[in-house]
Amino acid sequence: MLAGKFIVFEGIDGAGKTTQMELLAGFLKKMDIPVLCTREPGGTRIGGRLRELLLDPACHDISHRTEAFLYAADRAQHVDEIIRPALVKGITVLCDRFVYSTLAYQGWGRGMDMALLRQLNELATGALVPDAVVLLDITVREGISRVLGQRPPDRLEGEKNDFFRRVRDGYLEMALRWPGTFRVVEGDGPVEDVHRRILKAVGDLITP
Ligand SMILES: Nc1ncnc2c1ncn2[C@@H]1O[C@H](COP(=O)(O)OP(=O)(O)O)[C@@H](O)[C@H]1O
Ligand SMILES: [Mg+2]
Protein backbone atom coordinates (compact mmCIF):
# COMPACT_ATOMS: atom_id res chain seq x y z
CA MET A 1 0.00 0.00 0.00
CA LEU A 2 1.30 3.42 -0.98
CA ALA A 3 0.67 6.30 1.42
CA GLY A 4 -0.33 8.88 -1.20
CA LYS A 5 -3.33 8.87 -3.50
CA PHE A 6 -2.78 8.63 -7.23
CA ILE A 7 -5.38 10.41 -9.37
CA VAL A 8 -5.15 10.41 -13.17
CA PHE A 9 -6.97 12.74 -15.59
CA GLU A 10 -7.95 11.34 -18.96
CA GLY A 11 -10.09 12.39 -21.92
CA ILE A 12 -9.81 13.54 -25.51
CA ASP A 13 -7.96 16.72 -26.47
CA GLY A 14 -9.81 19.76 -25.17
CA ALA A 15 -11.72 17.80 -22.52
CA GLY A 16 -10.35 20.05 -19.77
CA LYS A 17 -7.75 17.78 -18.17
CA THR A 18 -5.07 20.42 -17.64
CA THR A 19 -7.57 23.05 -16.47
CA GLN A 20 -9.25 20.71 -13.99
CA MET A 21 -6.06 19.14 -12.68
CA GLU A 22 -4.80 22.59 -11.73
CA LEU A 23 -8.09 23.50 -10.05
CA LEU A 24 -8.05 20.28 -8.02
CA ALA A 25 -4.40 20.88 -7.07
CA GLY A 26 -5.36 24.37 -5.84
CA PHE A 27 -8.19 22.93 -3.78
CA LEU A 28 -5.91 20.31 -2.19
CA LYS A 29 -3.24 22.91 -1.38
CA LYS A 30 -5.83 25.04 0.38
CA MET A 31 -6.69 22.01 2.49
CA ASP A 32 -2.96 21.54 3.31
CA ILE A 33 -2.87 18.23 1.48
CA PRO A 34 0.58 17.79 -0.11
CA VAL A 35 0.13 17.48 -3.86
CA LEU A 36 2.30 16.94 -6.92
CA CYS A 37 1.11 17.63 -10.47
CA THR A 38 2.76 15.80 -13.31
CA ARG A 39 2.00 14.86 -16.88
CA GLU A 40 2.82 12.34 -19.54
CA PRO A 41 5.13 12.46 -21.40
CA GLY A 42 6.91 12.60 -18.09
CA GLY A 43 9.46 15.38 -18.30
CA THR A 44 12.33 13.43 -16.76
CA ARG A 45 15.90 13.91 -18.04
CA ILE A 46 15.98 10.38 -19.43
CA GLY A 47 12.51 10.84 -20.89
CA GLY A 48 13.78 13.93 -22.72
CA ARG A 49 16.58 11.90 -24.29
CA LEU A 50 14.11 9.22 -25.35
CA ARG A 51 11.90 11.86 -26.94
CA GLU A 52 14.85 13.33 -28.87
CA LEU A 53 15.36 9.88 -30.33
CA LEU A 54 11.66 9.51 -31.18
CA LEU A 55 11.54 12.91 -32.89
CA ASP A 56 14.89 12.67 -34.69
CA PRO A 57 14.30 12.56 -38.48
CA ALA A 58 17.36 10.30 -38.71
CA CYS A 59 15.30 7.67 -36.84
CA HIS A 60 12.52 7.60 -39.45
CA ASP A 61 12.99 3.84 -39.91
CA ILE A 62 11.97 3.08 -36.31
CA SER A 63 9.36 0.30 -36.24
CA HIS A 64 5.96 0.73 -34.57
CA ARG A 65 6.88 -1.84 -31.97
CA THR A 66 10.19 -0.16 -31.15
CA GLU A 67 8.41 3.16 -30.90
CA ALA A 68 5.96 1.66 -28.41
CA PHE A 69 8.87 0.30 -26.36
CA LEU A 70 10.53 3.71 -26.23
CA TYR A 71 7.33 5.36 -25.01
CA ALA A 72 7.04 2.60 -22.43
CA ALA A 73 10.62 3.30 -21.32
CA ASP A 74 9.72 6.98 -20.88
CA ARG A 75 6.75 5.96 -18.73
CA ALA A 76 8.87 3.57 -16.64
CA GLN A 77 11.27 6.41 -15.85
CA HIS A 78 8.35 8.71 -14.99
CA VAL A 79 6.91 6.14 -12.57
CA ASP A 80 10.29 5.30 -10.98
CA GLU A 81 11.65 8.83 -10.73
CA ILE A 82 8.57 10.92 -10.04
CA ILE A 83 5.28 9.16 -9.35
CA ARG A 84 6.17 6.27 -7.06
CA PRO A 85 8.62 8.19 -4.82
CA ALA A 86 5.96 10.88 -4.26
CA LEU A 87 3.28 8.31 -3.41
CA VAL A 88 5.65 6.58 -0.97
CA LYS A 89 6.09 9.94 0.81
CA GLY A 90 2.33 10.29 1.17
CA ILE A 91 1.98 12.99 -1.47
CA THR A 92 -1.20 13.04 -3.55
CA VAL A 93 -0.12 12.73 -7.19
CA LEU A 94 -2.27 14.24 -9.95
CA CYS A 95 -1.24 13.08 -13.42
CA ASP A 96 -2.39 14.56 -16.73
CA ARG A 97 -2.71 11.39 -18.89
CA PHE A 98 -1.36 7.92 -18.07
CA VAL A 99 -1.55 4.37 -19.48
CA TYR A 100 -5.16 4.83 -20.56
CA SER A 101 -4.08 7.43 -23.11
CA THR A 102 -1.87 4.81 -24.75
CA LEU A 103 -4.75 2.37 -24.93
CA ALA A 104 -7.21 4.98 -26.20
CA TYR A 105 -4.99 6.67 -28.81
CA GLN A 106 -2.67 3.88 -29.98
CA GLY A 107 -5.12 1.04 -29.38
CA TRP A 108 -8.62 2.27 -30.18
CA GLY A 109 -7.51 5.25 -32.27
CA ARG A 110 -4.72 3.80 -34.36
CA GLY A 111 -5.64 0.14 -34.14
CA MET A 112 -2.38 -1.10 -32.62
CA ASP A 113 -2.32 -4.53 -30.97
CA MET A 114 -4.14 -4.02 -27.67
CA ALA A 115 -2.57 -7.04 -25.95
CA LEU A 116 0.92 -5.72 -26.70
CA LEU A 117 0.01 -2.26 -25.39
CA ARG A 118 -1.45 -3.68 -22.19
CA GLN A 119 1.63 -5.82 -21.57
CA LEU A 120 3.91 -2.85 -22.19
CA ASN A 121 1.87 -0.67 -19.82
CA GLU A 122 2.00 -3.32 -17.13
CA LEU A 123 5.80 -3.56 -17.42
CA ALA A 124 6.29 0.20 -17.65
CA THR A 125 4.28 0.96 -14.52
CA GLY A 126 5.34 -2.06 -12.49
CA ALA A 127 1.58 -2.70 -12.28
CA LEU A 128 0.97 0.63 -10.52
CA VAL A 129 -2.77 1.32 -10.77
CA PRO A 130 -4.25 4.75 -9.92
CA ASP A 131 -6.73 5.13 -7.07
CA ALA A 132 -8.98 6.93 -9.54
CA VAL A 133 -9.09 7.88 -13.19
CA VAL A 134 -11.15 11.01 -13.74
CA LEU A 135 -12.45 10.60 -17.29
CA LEU A 136 -13.58 14.00 -18.52
CA ASP A 137 -16.11 13.15 -21.17
CA ILE A 138 -17.12 15.63 -23.84
CA THR A 139 -18.27 15.27 -27.42
CA VAL A 140 -15.66 15.27 -30.15
CA ARG A 141 -17.31 18.38 -31.57
CA GLU A 142 -16.98 20.27 -28.29
CA GLY A 143 -13.40 19.09 -27.78
CA ILE A 144 -12.30 20.18 -31.23
CA SER A 145 -14.03 23.54 -31.01
CA ARG A 146 -12.33 24.22 -27.65
CA VAL A 147 -8.92 23.33 -29.03
CA LEU A 148 -9.42 25.38 -32.17
CA GLY A 149 -10.70 28.32 -30.12
CA GLN A 150 -14.32 28.22 -31.29
CA ARG A 151 -13.56 27.81 -34.97
CA PRO A 152 -16.29 25.65 -36.56
CA PRO A 153 -15.25 22.00 -36.38
CA ASP A 154 -16.66 21.16 -39.82
CA ARG A 155 -13.51 22.60 -41.32
CA LEU A 156 -11.61 19.57 -40.15
CA GLU A 157 -11.49 16.58 -42.40
CA GLY A 158 -13.85 13.78 -41.42
CA GLU A 159 -11.01 11.38 -40.81
CA LYS A 160 -9.75 13.31 -37.82
CA ASN A 161 -13.24 13.35 -36.30
CA ASP A 162 -13.52 9.60 -36.74
CA PHE A 163 -10.19 9.12 -35.01
CA PHE A 164 -11.27 11.16 -31.98
CA ARG A 165 -14.63 9.38 -31.92
CA ARG A 166 -12.83 6.04 -31.66
CA VAL A 167 -10.64 7.45 -28.89
CA ARG A 168 -13.66 8.73 -26.94
CA ASP A 169 -15.51 5.42 -27.37
CA GLY A 170 -12.38 3.61 -26.20
CA TYR A 171 -12.28 5.68 -23.03
CA LEU A 172 -15.95 4.99 -22.33
CA GLU A 173 -15.39 1.29 -22.90
CA MET A 174 -12.51 1.30 -20.42
CA ALA A 175 -14.77 3.04 -17.90
CA LEU A 176 -17.26 0.18 -18.23
CA ARG A 177 -14.51 -2.41 -17.96
CA TRP A 178 -12.85 -0.88 -14.88
CA PRO A 179 -15.70 0.73 -12.94
CA GLY A 180 -13.76 0.60 -9.66
CA THR A 181 -11.07 2.88 -11.05
CA PHE A 182 -12.84 5.07 -13.59
CA ARG A 183 -15.01 7.98 -12.54
CA VAL A 184 -16.71 9.48 -15.56
CA VAL A 185 -17.32 13.21 -15.21
CA GLU A 186 -19.40 15.21 -17.68
CA GLY A 187 -16.89 17.73 -19.04
CA ASP A 188 -19.47 20.06 -20.58
CA GLY A 189 -20.52 23.34 -18.96
CA PRO A 190 -18.72 26.06 -16.98
CA VAL A 191 -15.26 25.24 -15.60
CA GLU A 192 -16.46 25.75 -12.00
CA ASP A 193 -19.34 23.28 -12.45
CA VAL A 194 -16.98 20.63 -13.79
CA HIS A 195 -14.65 21.29 -10.84
CA ARG A 196 -17.51 20.68 -8.39
CA ARG A 197 -18.41 17.43 -10.19
CA ILE A 198 -14.81 16.29 -9.84
CA LEU A 199 -14.72 17.11 -6.11
CA LYS A 200 -17.80 14.95 -5.71
CA ALA A 201 -16.35 12.14 -7.84
CA VAL A 202 -13.07 11.90 -5.91
CA GLY A 203 -14.32 13.13 -2.54
CA ASP A 204 -13.49 9.81 -0.87
CA LEU A 205 -9.82 10.21 -1.83
CA ILE A 206 -9.21 13.77 -0.71
CA THR A 207 -10.22 13.81 2.93
CA PRO A 208 -7.06 14.64 4.94
N1 LIG B 1 -15.55 23.75 -19.07
C2 LIG B 1 -14.98 24.41 -20.09
N3 LIG B 1 -15.74 25.14 -20.93
C4 LIG B 1 -15.18 25.82 -21.95
N5 LIG B 1 -13.86 25.83 -22.23
C6 LIG B 1 -13.05 25.12 -21.43
C7 LIG B 1 -13.56 24.37 -20.33
N8 LIG B 1 -12.52 23.76 -19.71
C9 LIG B 1 -11.42 24.10 -20.40
N10 LIG B 1 -11.72 24.93 -21.43
C11 LIG B 1 -10.81 25.52 -22.42
O12 LIG B 1 -10.64 24.55 -23.44
C13 LIG B 1 -9.28 24.45 -23.84
C14 LIG B 1 -8.76 23.04 -23.53
O15 LIG B 1 -8.73 22.83 -22.12
P16 LIG B 1 -7.57 21.97 -21.45
O17 LIG B 1 -7.75 22.01 -19.98
O18 LIG B 1 -6.24 22.38 -21.98
O19 LIG B 1 -7.95 20.53 -22.02
P20 LIG B 1 -7.04 19.24 -22.20
O21 LIG B 1 -5.88 19.38 -21.25
O22 LIG B 1 -7.94 18.11 -21.85
O23 LIG B 1 -6.64 19.19 -23.64
C24 LIG B 1 -8.54 25.54 -23.07
O25 LIG B 1 -8.47 26.67 -23.89
C26 LIG B 1 -9.42 25.78 -21.86
O27 LIG B 1 -9.30 27.09 -21.39
MG1 LIG C 1 -3.83 19.35 -21.59
Q: Say if ligand 1 is within 6 A of residue 109 CB.
A: no
Return the closest-CA partner of residue 187 out of 204, 167, 168, 173: 168
Q: 174's torsion region: left (phi>0), alpha (psi -120 to 50) or beta?
A: alpha
The pLDDT tens digits for 95-134 are 999 999 999 999 999 999 999 999 999 999 999 999 999 9
CB-based contacts of 12: which residues, under 8 Å, 6+ apart?
A: 138, 140, 143, 164, 167, 168, 171
- Ranking 96-105, 152-161, 194-203 by mean pLDDT, the lowest is 152-161
How many Å lie between the centroid of ligand 1 and the Cα of residue 115?
A: 32
Residue 81 lies in a domain: yes
Q: What's the total number of domains in the chain?
A: 1
Residue whose CA lies nearest to ligand 1 atom number 23: 14
In ligand 1, the atom with minimum distance to the C-alpha of 146 is 12
Q: Say if 1 falls within a structural domain.
A: no
Cα 41 to ligand 2 centroid, rounded to whole Å: 11
The answer to whether residue 184 is domain-embedded is yes
State which amino acid sits at residue 142.
E
Residue ranges making up the domain that contains 117 = 6-205
Q: 60-67 — which CB contacts under 8 Å span 24+ positions?
A: 64/112, 65/116
Q: Which atom of ligand 1 is the closest one to the Cα of 21? A: 17
Judged against a pLDDT cut of 60, whether residue 154 lies above it is answered with: no
Centre of ligand 1 from the C-alpha of residue 163, in Å:
20
Give the CATH number for residue 199. 3.40.50.300
Q: Say what the pTM is.
A: 0.94
Residue 156 counted as domain residue: yes
Q: Is the shortest distance between the CB of 21 and ligand 1 below 6 Å?
A: no
Average of per-residue pLDDT values in the chain: 93
Pocket mutation for ligand 1, best pick of 10, 142, 146, 191 (most atoms within 8 Å of C-beta): 146
